Amino acid sequence: MFSSVKLPWQSASNDAKPKDEVEESDGEGESLVTVLRTSEDRSALTILVADCTALMRQDIVAIFDAKQIPPPAAKPIAPTEQRPEATKQTASDDAEKAKQDLAAREKEIASPKMQELRKAALTYFDEWRASVIQRVGEIVNSKQQATEQVQQSKPKTERPRSASPPMRFPKTPAYDPSVKQALEKLYPPVENNLTKFPEAKRTLILHSMLLLLLSLEHYKAQSRTLMMYLTTSLHLPPNLLSDDESKIARGLLTAAENMKADEETKKKAEENTDTRKWKVGLATVAGAALIGVTGGLAAPLLAAGVGSVMGGLGLGATAAAGYLGSMAASSVLVGGLFGAYGGRMTGRMMDQYAREVEDFAFVAVRTYHRPRKIEKEYRRLRVAIGISGWLTDKDDVVEPWRVIGTGMESFALRFELEALMNLGNSLTSMLTSAAWGYAKKELIKRTVFGSLLAGLWPLGLLKVSRIVDNPWSVASHRATRAGEVLADALINKAQGERPVTLIGYSLGARVIYTCLQRLAERKAFGLVEHVVFMGAPCPSASADWRMIRSVTSGRVVNVYSSDDYILAFLYRSSSIQYGVAGLQAIEGVKGVENFDISNMVSGHTSYRFLTGRILQKIGFEDIDKEEFEREEQQRKEEEAKAQKELQESQAKEDSTTGTTDVKEGDKDVSDQHIKDLEKEIDDKNQQSYIGWATEKMTLAGTGASAAYEKAKLQWAARGQTAAVEGTAEGTTDAAKKRVSGESYDDVKARAEARRMTEEMELGLKK
């Protein structure tokens, strides 16, 4: 059969043959050759791929174009601006500001750092694009033809591409979750001649393209973006691609489990810990498989049945194995694609990172509390990592991310449990206190930025600031460090060769912000598909977000609330002159989407129970409907509970201080109220710490009762009263000094020294 595949580039007389020269497959099913029967049809596929990748390249160029910016958010017209003279003056001011902003962007983009990043991004993309075009050409066209078609490609979208301005939802949003329409806006269909085929034929073309991309031994973020363009351009539903990815993932893993590798391959795998080196060597040995020949190393995979699995997608077994190329040659390559079958994200590889950031680990969402024997069912070709910004329970690491659908293999990033639980306990206690109740009524009379810039905060709120400032400062620094470690993990392919989507709220968004900054600094492209920031306590400076956009192939979404007084208060001691992403839109960077959800979010802590609603609003393609409904119910219960606790706290404080008749703006809180809050938080922290420490020691092999007693002793040794009342300020200063005086390289060096010491001690024991 594959003599037919090779004919287009092996014979100079190809084009002289009749258009119906290609015969039907020999009973083994369909292939690209049997679907694209003429040279024109085969060329149409190459041209479509070239056009789609040309659009993707244009998006990269636009990131570094000062004139390519999303339209500003629409602003309401004030009554005074309706007068002609006022309108004229406003237009003049706007024009002058636009001119100044353009000059600032041009200066920023012209910097050596940005130009170097631009060059690196385009170089990486061009190399990836060339490999894709070559692979497609090997199957359907001659290499020379493919090159000419790429050079002549002029993509024409079926509808104009429009940037997404900041969106503000009405109080009662009537959102139609039409994911297909949303994705067609993000990935506009490209005009092509393949839409004439029946849906079954177009589906087979899409299946084949996915296998061809996997034959490159990876599924880069750019490859996934290309598949989205092909899906919309072939007028196919987006869920078809997601289902296809899931079937192929299970098919590859099922076949690889039964594959018998030869002794030489096993020996190489054991002797060389550098997976990439021997992967390249193996691919060289399997060179014949790379061009679609089904002999040699493809046989084990075919024997294991992957051809039959892929045949369920409409392809013949031989064609499927041929399109997979070297991926059809070894279980090792399949393991590399999935991160050693998912073990890297949850196994020993994470131990080195846990030395640098306490409790650093990826927790599988779908296999959480489920038997390991069915974990394979949740393996996917794409990975999602959700990151919580604070915790009130250790299960909060995972719970917010159950809404992510099964089209992705979802993980939750766990890090610094103690710091995040201390922060969560402080936040929840403060927000259900009378101090916050009084302050909130005063704050709503002002704008967030007015309070932030002027430093005008209610006295009662400033009194309780010591309750949250220290936990916030410590957790914020730890989140920054976790972001650096996360970047390391992604670069070292903990996720395998699969694209990653990062989603986080509050300090979880800060982790992502730092991670993407480090990826950009290290020119690590092709790893990240989408990122979603919710209430990010990060600067909104365009230079930083330009770097973030450059290492993200798909969507960069900034979800913010301009009425988030809690975030503004917590962020008040940071560099507010650079803006706050969680409070405002990101301006001046093409490709960054802004969503204002002020009417959905009652406060910063609302994000914990709004992840599903937010993902739905932004048109996220993978949402679990059942978990979404469950989260909605939890949100209502939590809001009612918090409101009840707030009212009880206010009533108690009013009766204690006798301020029931005092105007809201003049109300203050008593010192006893502050002490009660500190005691409440201390009790919560003690309970959280003992539970966390007990579980940790139990997992290490200590008996449950012994671990519990030891955890209690550890907490007692920390000095409960001194930790809250006596050394809160000193702890903050020490934390800042420790963080500012120790670079990330210092942390890594210290962790490496610790590892070497542990190995030496282990060697001595042996």
Q: Scanning the structure block, which residue is given the tokens 């024109």?
A: 40
What pLDDT, on a 0 to 100 scale, did the predictor assign at position 64?
93
What pLDDT, on a 0 to 100 scale, did the predictor assign at position 173?
36
326 closest CA partner among 281, 371, 372, 369: 281
Tell me: pLDDT of 305 over 60.
no
Instruction: Please say whether the beta carbons of 228 and 390 come within 8 A.
Output: no
721 closest CA partner among 754, 681, 682, 668: 682
What's the angle, vertex CA 572, arms to CA 570 and CA 578, rounded to 5?
115
Contacts of 631 (CB under 8 A, 6+ apart): 400, 402, 403, 609, 611, 612, 613
- Residue 10 to residues 13, 14, 22, 342: CA-CA distances in angstroms? 9, 8, 15, 40
Tell me: pLDDT of 728 over 50.
no
Residues 627 and 634: their CA atoms lie apart, in Å, by 10
Number of Cβ atoms within 10 Å of the Cβ of 448? 21
Phi first, then psi, for residue 540 (nearest 5°) are: -105, 15
First to last CA, the chain: 59
**What 3-state class would DSSP assign to 345?**
helix
Tell me: pLDDT of 354 over 80.
no
Tell me: pLDDT of 24 over 50.
no
Contacts of 6 (CB under 8 A, 6+ apart): 291, 292
Residues 70 and 598: their CA atoms lie apart, in Å, by 20
Query: pLDDT (tens digit, 9 = 90+) per residue, 147-174?
Result: 555 555 566 665 444 444 444 433 433 3
What pLDDT, on a 0 to 100 scale, did the predictor assign at position 656?
63
Q: Scanning the structure block, which residue is given the tokens 């300090």?
A: 507
What pLDDT, on a 0 to 100 scale, did the predictor assign at position 519?
97
Tell me the domains of the chain and their CATH numbers: 2-65+117-337 (no CATH), 343-669 (3.40.50)
Phi first, then psi, for residue 529 (nearest 5°) are: -90, -60
Token duo for residue 722: 């001194």
**What 3-state class would DSSP assign to 333?**
helix
Residues 427 and 415: their CA atoms lie apart, in Å, by 18
Least confident of 136-150, 323-337, 370-384: 136-150
What's the angle, vertex CA 644, arms to CA 642 and CA 645, rounded to 5?
65
Report the chain's mean pLDDT, rounded to a whole number: 75
What pLDDT, on a 0 to 100 scale, did the predictor assign at position 514?
97
Instruction: Please say whether the beta carbons of 435 and 464 come within 8 A.
Output: yes
Residues 538 and 576: their CA atoms lie apart, in Å, by 9
Token duo for residue 82: 């309706």
Token duo for residue 301: 């995979």
What pLDDT, on a 0 to 100 scale, did the predictor assign at position 382?
94
Average pLDDT rounded to a whole number, residues 480-485: 94
What pLDDT, on a 0 to 100 scale, did the predictor assign at position 29?
67
Residues 341 and 497: their CA atoms lie apart, in Å, by 11
What pLDDT, on a 0 to 100 scale, did the predictor assign at position 638?
82
Least confident of 168-177, 354-363, 668-677: 168-177
Predicted confidence band of residue 97 (pLDDT cuts 50, 70, 90) = confident
Tell me: pLDDT of 764 over 90.
no
Instruction: Give the percent of the chain with pLDDT over 70.
Output: 66
Residues 686 and 230: their CA atoms lie apart, in Å, by 54
Instruction: Please say whether the beta carbons of 550 and 63 come within 8 A.
Output: yes
Tell me: pLDDT of 67 over 50.
yes
Q: What H or E segment, with its residue span, contains residue 691?
A: helix 671-699
Tell me: pLDDT of 265 over 70.
no
Token duo for residue 545: 């977000």
Least confident of 227-231, 347-351, 425-429, 468-472: 347-351
Instruction: Please say whether the beta carbons of 646 and 437 come within 8 A.
Output: yes
What pLDDT, on a 0 to 100 scale, did the predictor assign at position 271?
54
Token duo for residue 152: 């002549």
Residues 186 and 618: their CA atoms lie apart, in Å, by 11
Tell me: pLDDT of 693 over 80.
no
Tell me: pLDDT of 662 over 50.
no
Predicted confidence band of residue 37 (pLDDT cuts 50, 70, 90) = confident
Instruction: Please say whether the beta carbons of 560 and 535 come within 8 A.
Output: yes
Residues 270 and 264: their CA atoms lie apart, in Å, by 10
Token duo for residue 268: 């190489």
204 closest CA partner among 370, 316, 118: 316
